[in-house]
Amino acid sequence: MGKPLVLRLSGYPIMSTNLRDLANPKYWLFLLALLPFWLVAQLPYGWQISIGKVYGRFGTKVYKKSRKVIATNIKLCFPKLSELEQQSLIDRSAEQLGISIAETFLVWFRNNKKFIQDRVTVDGLEHFNEAIQSGRPIVLLSCHYGCVDLNGVLLSSLERGEKKFVATFRQTDDFVNRFLTSVRSQYCDLLLPSIDQRNIVKNLKNKNIIWYAPDIEVKGKNSEFVDFMGVKASTTVAISRLAKITDALVLPVAHYREDESPAYRLKVFPALDQYPSADLSRDTRRINEAIEQIIAPDPTFYWWVIKRFKRRPDGEKSPY
């Protein structure tokens, strides 16, 4: 088949595994769709933040379904807020979602690793260092809070010795998967689909670090309905099972943008104590409690656009 063709945007490779890709209109449409995002990423940081805010506010008004999901989630999770307070939270959350998307372009399309890492302070570094020194595998418990790719860049800057930094992701279209693998491999040693539990376990048994965001709804025997922000949510039991099989430490992690300036605070929380336990439901609830702790300082950073409560227990109707 010969050597694969490689297209680069700002130094990042997008690979074509065979010549048939070049004859596929879908491939070229995908590349064309990336162009405006690449252009935004070349702008000064402040401009990117402003564009992201505008995109989030007005984009969710154009795509009314997205705004409806945000509004539904906020009304479910913050029922004590007045209607005016809920509306304010909806608007600010939409803006922050847009900013997170703009930051994603920055991570994808700029040789920006030094730019970002020079602007980060770390809280709780002692918790990360203790986990490294323990010699045990580590699960970094994250969620869709702020820019997910930026979270990976910041975490990858921490000194981890011989441990590999492995990120999990949700598989989508083949072209998209190849693109994401290309850009994310700039800061990850390895990327694994979140459904590839066999290789995730293998890497944990090799004492590596796995980044995992468990706040996407899952189905069937791999989930439990437990509280999230006071609402029953179908939640993966994977973290508890992985910790039990591999003796991994579970450390919640998050990052916070400081006053919409090019400065970030990365926070590492203490490892979950006495985790896992013999109670799978309790362990799963503790995962959601950790995510609630991440969200608490500023709920507007969370991706309320995710249909977190679509599946319902006991035949309840979806709120969406």
Cβ neighbours of 164 (radius 10 Å): 14
pLDDT tops 60 at residue 28: yes
What's the pLDDT at 3?
A: 46
**Residue 137, pLDDT above cutoff 90:** yes
* 11, pLDDT greater than 70: no
User: 4 CB contacts (<8 Å, ≥6 apart)?
Assistant: 15, 16, 17, 18
Output the pLDDT for position 261: 62
Q: What is the mean pLDDT of residues 215-222?
A: 83
pLDDT at 37 over 90: no
Residue 5 confidence (pLDDT)? 44
pLDDT digits (tens, 9 = 90+) for 49-73: 999 999 999 999 898 999 999 999 9
pLDDT at 102 over 70: yes
The contacts of residue 235 (CB under 8 Å, 6+ apart) are 214, 215, 218, 223, 224, 225, 226, 228, 284, 285, 287, 288
How does pLDDT run across 189-202, given as a tens digit for each residue? 999 988 899 999 99
Which residue would you say has higher pLDDT here, 285 or 6? 285
> Helical H runs in the chain?
25-41, 45-62, 64-77, 83-109, 113-117, 125-134, 148-156, 174-184, 197-205, 238-246, 280-295
| pLDDT for position 77 | 98
Question: pTM of the prediction?
Answer: 0.89
Average pLDDT on 97-111 reads 89
Where along the chain do its domains lie?
5-109, 119-315
- CA neighbours closer than 13 Å in the CB half-sphere of residue 297: 12
pLDDT of residue 118: 76
Across residues 217-240, what is the average pLDDT? 91
Buried b / exposed e over 19-33, threshold 16 CB at 10 Å, is eebeeeeebeebeee
Give the model's pLDDT for residue 172. Answer: 75
pLDDT for 15 equals 47
Express as a percent the part of the chain with pLDDT over 70: 89
Q: Which pLDDT score, from 0 to 100, does residue 4 have? A: 47
The model's pLDDT over 257-307, given as tens digits with 9 standing for 90+, comes to 876 566 899 999 999 999 999 999 999 999 999 999 999 999 999 999 999
What are the C-alpha distances in Å from 175 to residues 10, 36, 273?
18, 18, 41
Q: Take residue 297 and report the two structure tokens written for it.
A: 């300082």
What average pLDDT is seen over the chain? 88
Region 5-12: mean pLDDT is: 48
| Sheet strands side by side (includes 264-268) | 120-123, 264-268, 249-257, 138-141, 209-212, 165-169, 190-193
